[in-house]
Chain A
Amino acid sequence: EAEVAQSPRYKITEKSQAVAFWCDPISGHATLYWYRQILGQGPELLVQFQDESVVDDSQLPKDRFSAERLKGVDSTLKIQPAELGDSAMYLCASSETGTGQPQHFGDGTRLSIL
């Protein structure tokens, strides 16, 4: 079964440093999502792409976070500078379309900020 690929699986870095995460969705999936999940909580949407366009980034802290999906396939999420409160699991998901279709998640990146 096709999977969503994410890297790295784990990232440990110091505050004020830059961090980047990469995601390759399931082939043919037009919609890509980045979520942040804090322990004991459900995933919270950071940004949603439809092809190469941002559909929703209302919860993305734009002073430090950026996301792109230049060719409408894979995507990068960046944090600059990282803060202690950014420690969380960062999840990428994809779906065929953005209209109520099931989302399939990658393995996620566990980020720890020291």
Chain B
Amino acid sequence: QKEVEQNSGPLSVPEGAIASLNCTYSDRGSQSFFWYRQYSGKSPELIMSIYSNGDKEDGRFTAQLNKASQYVSLLIRDSQPSDSATYLCAVYSGNTPLVFGKGTRLSVIA
């Protein structure tokens, strides 16, 4: 059973700080990694994709992947109250369905 683990939170950070969200996965053969943001009562919204080791930056978001440690993270710089949401990590491992973590709830305090 392929697993994706996330701390459920809530993770509380002050406005303007860096929020760090972490995700570990069990399948060493995993190939594609995604971060989705989900506001309460809404559907998941894709915010980052990462496929190779290292960092990938997009605006205030940075995804970091370390396949050796089976670890993927999402950093949000200059956190805003509008970033308050649940962040879902999703991992793809070959010919199996995309596996989602349970999500980390982020709260940015103004």
Are A and B part of the same complex? yes
B44 touches A43 (CB 8 A): yes
Cα–Cα, bound, A33→B100 (Å): 14
A107 touches B88 (CB 8 A): no
Give how many A-B residue pairs fall within 8 Å (CB-CB): 47
B44 touches A105 (CB 8 A): yes
Size of chain B's interface in residues, with CB distance under 8 A?
23
Nearest B residue (CB) for A43: B100
Residue B31 is within 8 A (CB to CB) of chain A in the complex:
yes
Q: Which of A13-21, A68-76, A78-86, A96-104 contacts B (4 or more CB under 8 A)?
A: A96-104
1/0 contact string of B35-49 vs chain A (CB within 8 Å): 010000111111001
A105 touches B43 (CB 8 A): yes
B100 touches A106 (CB 8 A): no
Given A43-B44, A91-B44, A102 contacting B97 (CB threshold 8 A): no
Smallest distance from the beta carbon of B70 to chain A beta carbons, Å?
Answer: 17
Residue B34 is within 8 A (CB to CB) of chain A in the complex:
yes
Partner pick for A42 among B32, B46, B88, B92, CB 8 A cutoff: B88
A48 touches B102 (CB 8 A): no
| Across-interface contacts of B49 in A (CB, < 8 A) | 102
Interface centre among A56, A91, A105, A108 (most CB of B within 10 A): A105
17 residue pairs A–B, Cβ–Cβ below 8 Å: A40-B103, A42-B90, A42-B100, A42-B103, A43-B88, A45-B97, A45-B98, A91-B43, A100-B32, A100-B51, A102-B49, A103-B34, A103-B46, A104-B46, A105-B43, A105-B44, A108-B43
Known: A40-B8, A44-B100, A100-B92. 11 other contacts (CB 8 A): A40-B102, A42-B90, A42-B102, A45-B97, A91-B43, A101-B32, A102-B46, A102-B49, A103-B34, A105-B36, A108-B43
